[in-house]
Structure 1
């Protein structure tokens, strides 16, 4: 019996060790998915397919990596808000164009879509340090443009893009007017615990009581929970309650942490929203929610008395 128990314990320990080793060794492969299985890395379509006015924008990140982006306008003279959009981890910006087409029409805005390094037509290989530089290069480009209202730049991040957007917003309190987070996780460590529950006691994270053994080994921690409370700009949290990838409590914890020191936070959930299609859920309520948030927090006139009305609106 003792021998059997010993073998069992050694076996479980071996499985945990192998799991942790694979997690550390292949973490970038798990976090970043530039190519969706069955597709190629290149763009399947461009904004021209939807008859959108756009330009190809090529940037250089601060470490010299060449990046590709699309800057799309509803109409050439549009002076509405400019949304800097950061996508989910799978595929490239072309896979988001159907949503972007509707976003432009509903919100009467411009949109800048960045291809992270290693994604789409951008060079390099993805990493947290590198993508943080890429996001900054995109914002710096927008700030220098003369055909937009640079006081109305709004960062919009979905899933991984929310983690990217949160870092950028925190680092640029005078350049980013507001932040929208949709179905974003608290941290990569917490997500590892969701995907591999038996590792929770070894990887730790904001949702675990166990020791954070792997903290120093994770190269892309994307710990949004640790920085969200430092953001002072208005934040809209959009949560799909049927999210099959990121458990909805992640968004709730982010909101609670942010709202502790930021009164301009708003949380809105969508009962039928899943990870990738919350924008299709609940009819037009999704778009009205974002529109109201922008009207109240990113008004056309920065001196308008209603510009800091904050989180007292109720999405209808």
Structure 2
């Protein structure tokens, strides 16, 4: 065998290895889109001296959801003002533990939503923290739809809260993170019963996928993510460019929405969130916050809960 044939053979072998690796990585991420790896709960509200109740309720399409209802403190002046907290993709009602293989691969950091809940509780708000469909202890309906179908979870949560005597039906707010922020924004187009909303780093799926792919895999991301998207579509999803948050938020009515976005977020971007704010009839922000990665934007609000308290005080008046 001459040198040319040997080189050609090794090139074919190397090409096959690279193609197999790309396909495996794409399949891994496609599977996480279709059915996220469930994180077990690692804490409860009573660890922070919050009285709570284990609850279940249906989304409007019947998916069973599990969560906690945390009534406001007995001496609260808020008169039934209650906030729905909506977590991000791959998280659960407590946030992100950042201990699984996806977290290790992507450089995820911990997100402690229970800490934020405690701050809001001390400020007098009641809270509903729940696991979204395909997450935590809630029911399944794959694949995920980047907030579009998940909005039915939020509408179901509102219906549940309206049946509780501790809740003022006209004083319900929502607070969403990442895909949970998308979920809240889609829900605003379906209901006028959310009086105010905070959206922390929502993202247009196509925009997010492109930036995430390049950040994680360099030039190979331009091959890996489209292949993962194709696998996602074969499982029942749609092309990512067809998930249009701007179209949804344009139908949000006069519900005030506060947008929060990290300046140096490598996966999302201020420009993307700015376009959402422009399309929103009654926006605040985006409030651009400092940070070095995607997770700094979430952490900023956890470290500065007074931002959420002040916004909901203004728009859920006594």
Same fold (TM over 0.5): yes
- Matching residue of 2:201: 183
Higher relative contact order at CA 8 Å, sep ≥6: structure 1 or structure 2?
Answer: 2
CA distance in 2, matches of 1:59, 1:283: 27
Tell me the equivalent position of 1:29.
Answer: 32
Report the Cα distance in structure 2 between the residues aligned to 1:47 and 1:259, rounded to whole angstroms: 37
Q: Give yes or no for the alignment of 1:164 onto 2:149.
A: no
Deviation of the 1:87 alpha carbon: 0.4
When residues 184 and 76 of structure 1 are mapped into structure 2, their CA distance, relative to the original with a 3 A threshold, is: same
State whether residues 272 and 282 of structure 1, in contact with CA within 8 Å, keep that contact through their aligned partners in structure 2: no
8 Å Cα contact 2:26/2:224 also seen in 1: no
After the TM superposition, which of the residue ranges 174-183 and 113-122 deviates more from structure 2? 113-122
CA offsets 1:37-69 (integer angstroms, 9 cap, x no match): xxxx3x221111111111111112344432211
Aligned to 1:272: 291
Distance between the aligned counterparts of 1:126 and 1:48, measured in 2?
32
1:135 maps to: 154
Structure 1 pair 50–264 and aligned structure 2 pair: CA distance change class (3 A): same
Give 1:1-316 correspondences, 5 Å limit. Answer: 23=26, 27-30=30-33, 33-36=36-39, 41=40, 43-76=41-74, 78=76, 79-95=79-95, 96-105=113-122, 107-128=123-144, 131-172=150-191, 174-187=192-205, 189-197=206-214, 198=219, 219=237, 221=240, 222-232=243-253, 233-244=255-266, 246-247=267-268, 249=269, 251-260=270-279, 262-272=281-291, 274-278=293-297, 280-281=299-300, 286-300=304-318
Give the structure-1-normalised TM-score: 0.71
- The aligned residue for residue 310 of structure 1 is none
Judge conservation of contact 1:55–1:72 (CA < 8 Å) in 2: yes
Count of aligned residue pairs for this structure pair: 277
Give, in whole Å, the separation in 2 of the partners of 1:50 and 1:223.
39
Match of 2:108 in 1: none
User: 5+ residue gaps in structure 2?
Assistant: 1-6, 96-112
CA 1:276–1:201 in structure 2 vs 1: closer, same or farther (change >3 Å)?
A: closer
Cα distance in 1 for residues equivalent to 2:35 and 2:314: 35
User: Match of 2:103?
Assistant: none
Deviation digits for residues 200-253 of structure 1, max 9, x if unmatched?
59989xxxxxxx999966716454234222222111011222435x33x2x443
- Cα-Cα RMSD: 3.8
Task: Return the offset for 1:261.
Answer: 5.4
